[in-house]
Amino acid sequence: MKTVLMADPVRYPRMTTEELRETFLLSGLHEPDKLHLRYVDLDRSVTGFAAPVEASIALPTFPELRAAYFTERRELGALNIGGAGSITVDGKTHALENLDCLYIGRGSREVSFAAKDRNAPAVFYLLSYPAHAEFPVALVRKAEASPVEIGSAETCNKRTIFKYIHLQGARSCQLVMGVTHLAPGSNWNTMPPHTHMRRSEIYMYFNLAADARVMHFMGPPAETRHIVMRDKEIVVSPGWSIHSGVGTRAYSFTWGMGGENQDYADMDPAPVETLR
């Protein structure tokens, strides 16, 4: 598990494209039969993939955590973006279909990931934040994730938001997590843009064709940049940065937040006409 150090808004305007990518983009973390994670100093988040195929993958602890086991002082969200699979937590196995999500609370000592079919393996996207309270393990099916349709075809941003881990869903200490699916013909996400200084946010783009890309926009509203992203790449968004994107075709992304509160609507608008 490598550590990623964030840049501040003072250094940010002077960064080259490559420096932006090295700092905010997390790539190459999905690999069959492997678990790859990154520790981000911003809100001490950990994110990455567990992609079991031939055998189950146990979630280890890491020296960076200084913990006896991974969730000794952490909570974890695991979203399955692949085929059917399962997650075993302290001896209890939870079966997950595509786009089911499991919340794993602080104090869960043993966690492992497995695929049901090696020809259509599960792919678990993982997002973790420190936790100072314990909440029970909770499985949220896609059908239970309170889908809400927003946007419109006229503005090219018709999309459906699924909330999995939030105040009215699976309870957590600080982790908020969900998925947004763009409708065919729509390609803009998170419009109008906004920031929220009380929480950082992490995006992972998926369901993106090999020859397609998402242009992810970031930065203070008056000093925006973009990062070109591929399928299953992750981007970190500090509280001072907008987070919005446009794809060359329809795609999905999972969003996750950690920080001072869990209020999904807590944001500071950045109207389109103010962007530079």
Q: Residue 61 corresponds to which tokens in the numbers above?
A: 């602890």
Predicted pLDDT at 146: 84
Q: What is the pLDDT of residue 191?
A: 86
In CATH, what number does 2-274 get?
2.60.120.10
Three-state SS string across 41-79, please? CHHHEEEEEECCCCCCEECCCCHHHCCCCCCCCEEEEEE
| HSE-CB for 172 with a 13 A CA cutoff | 36
Short-list 268, 242, 147, 239, CA closest to 190 = 242
Q: Are 239 and 199 contacting, i.e. CB atoms less than 8 angstroms apart?
A: yes
Q: What is the pLDDT of residue 264?
A: 85
Q: Does residue 40 sit in helix, strand or coil?
A: strand
- The 10 Å Cβ neighbour count of residue 148 is 12
Is residue 61 exposed (0-12), middle (13-18) or buried (19+ Cβ within 10 Å)?
A: middle
Q: Give, in order, the Cα–Cα distances in Å from 213 to each of 22, 126, 168, 193, 230.
A: 18, 22, 33, 20, 5
Name the residue type at position 53. V
Residues in the chain where the model's pLDDT stays below 70: none
Q: Which two tokens stand for residue 23?
A: 């700092």
